[in-house]
Structure 1
Amino acid sequence: MVVLKPKTQQGKRVLESRGPKLLENNKKTMVMKGAKTSDAVSKALKDLYSMKKPDAVMLSKRNEFRPFEDETPVEGLSSKMDASLFLFGSHSKKRPHNLVMGRMFNHQVLDMFELGTEGYKGFDSFKNSKTAMGSKPCLIFNGTDWENSLLYKRLKNMLIDFFRGPVVEKVRLVGLEQALTFTLSEGRVYARNYKILLKKSGSKKPRVELEEIGPSFDFIVRRHKLGSESMYKDALKVPRAIKPKKKKNVSHDAFGSKLGRIHMQKQDVKKMQLRKMKGLKQTRQEKLAKLKANKQAKSGQDSGE
């Protein structure tokens, strides 16, 4: 293994930025063209590149390699660009309008999907205002097949990696202005991009409307290559230093609400000092009946003695 030693301060900063960290940088995406691309594929690459800005780099040079036949060029470019995601566009008679979407782990190909696109509509097809660059989208996955198949589970996970944007702890309601939907039906995925509009509703909660802004395309999975289970587990590992410390008797429900359990000794409810309320006070008749019962009990005890 070759260990690089920086010769300048700039080189030192570059190596430090690429080194391992507890909190990693935002994932960078490489956008590449194959030897031949159709007009639809070229537009799709440009539109997806603009959606991924500023965490993306567009390579202008055409590439003769094919990722599914030889992964070495992609892994070399990943190491050079320090990119963990890539998008490769190509077009041929056998595989028209082809997009290859993949992700890396330790500069090695982890997952890779070859997607055949149909009915592509870019930003130019929708004459309306677009969202701001670098906005964090809301990802929506429709269809039960996303959870029933290992193939589509990994595809869903990769789409989340690809489009989720910067990692943040909280999102303001006003700042949520983009929604990406992926609908899976009969082996075909329908991808749509919407702008979220917050309208007046006469109350504190706004009325939400969706306006399609593109790009829009339908795709099918032609080929796929999934990483091994051991490699996938290594990619999911979280450093122990940033793992939240587990608190005893504290859990969270599906909505994120904190639930706690308190252990107390057994208490006698009859002797507890409760708040005095008019509704719980004894009436005059109840008091007389209680006194009469006590007198009868006492007279019974005296006669027994």
Structure 2
Amino acid sequence: MLIKGGNANLTVTEVLKDIEFFSKKSDCSLFLFGSHNKKRPNNLIIGRMFDYHVLDMIELGVEKFVSLKEIKNSKCPEGTKPMLIFAGDMFDVNEEYRRLKSLFIDFFRGPTVPSIRLAGLEYVLHFTAVDGKIYMRSYKVLLKKSGCKIPRIELEEMGPSLDLVMRRTHLASDDLYKLSLKQPKGLKPKKKKNISHDVFGTTYGRIHMQKQDLSKLQTRKMKGLKKRPAEKSAEDGGATPKKS
């Protein structure tokens, strides 16, 4: 749900009821509010709902913006599912940045698909948090010939790009946030032993192996690895081979 502020003096906190009303009417869980005034120029407010009530809401200031048209490079088709990359310690150590990262994932992750072909991995959204700013960059993945089966990967900026700064935040309490993460039993996948998943849905497996005896490891037989007669005699107790 995209909302553009018509009244320059209007704030999101004053229209929360309207946002919740339209969220319920359109069954929409995410919203983006854009406004501009002297006090907070080029302002974006990104948020999400839980049970048709505002859960998290973060205000971002746009300090620099480069549009798609300004970057004269080839573009990805509309609706391409992006790969999301987050760089910067703030996304892991700061609670506000952690919630912002989670919001970005909800906004840009795209539809859930069972599988994807290699050529479909052509769109990268990169977020970098450094020195109190968030840099958002969009890249197209180029697969180049590398002389082997695995192609060489290059990233070409295609836009848009934004330099953002975090302003005000309205975050749900820890208890409410945990409640919003709960899934119905019918949708929650059954836990499998030694298998875990991250926020992107990537599957990780833990393998338990017994201690290996490397002395029994089968190696390639090469002339340089064969034991010399002197080494064999040393292993046999120093006995020299008999001459016929």
TM, length-normalised to structure 2: 0.78
Amino acid at match of 2:3: M
1:124 is aligned to 2:72:
no
* 1:241 aligned residue: 186
Contact 2:127-2:134 within 8 A present in 1 as well: yes
Q: Provide the residue aligned with 2:88 in structure 1.
A: 143
Is residue 48 of structure 2 the alignment partner of residue 98 of structure 1? no
Which has the greater radius of gyration?
A: 1
User: 8 Å contact 1:84–1:103 — kept in the other structure?
Assistant: yes
Which amino acid in structure 2 is aligned with residue 31 of structure 1? L
Q: Give the conservation status (yes or no) of the 8 Å contact 1:87–1:102.
A: yes
1: CA distance, partners of 2:74 / 2:7: 32
Task: Compute the RMSD of aligned alpha carbons.
Answer: 2.7
CA spacing shift, 1:154–1:262, aligned 2, 3 Å = same
Query: For residues 126 and 262 of structure 1, do their structure 2 counterparts lie closer, same or farther at Cα, with a shift above 3 Å needed?
Result: closer
Q: CA deviation at 1:261?
A: 5.6
Aligned match of 1:196 in 113, 132, 141? 141
1 or 2, which has the higher helix percentage?
A: 1
1:35 alignment counterpart: 6
Q: Deviations over 1:59-113 (max 9, x none)?
A: xxxxx84213341111111111111111111100000001111111111100001
Q: How many matched pairs?
A: 212
For 2:76 and 2:197, how far apart are their aligned partners in 1? 33
Equivalent residue number for residue 221 of structure 1: 166
Q: Is the 8 A contact 2:84 2:105 kept in 1?
A: yes
Q: CA deviation at 1:138?
A: 0.6
* Displacement of 1:161: 0.6
**1:75 and 2:20 aligned:** yes
| TM value normalised by structure 1 | 0.63
Deviations 1:88-144 (A, max 9, x none): 111000000011111111111000011100110111111222111111101011111
1:150 and 1:109, CA in 2 relative to 1: closer, same or farther beyond 3 A?
A: same
Q: CA deviation at 1:35?
A: 1.6
Partner Cα separation in structure 2 for residue 244 and residue 260 of structure 1: 21
1:185 and 2:156 are equivalent in the alignment: no
Counterpart residue identity of residue 168, structure 1: V
CA distance 1:108–1:123, shift in 2 (3 Å): same
* Aligned residues of 1:123 and 1:215 also touching (Cα < 8 A): yes
CA deviations over 1:229-250 (Å, ceiling 9, x no partner):
22211210022223333345x4
Report percent identity of matched pairs: 49
Q: What's 1:158 paired with?
A: 103
C-alpha distance in structure 2 between counterparts of 1:152 and 1:36, whole Å: 29
Q: Which moved more, 1:227-236 or 1:139-148?
A: 227-236
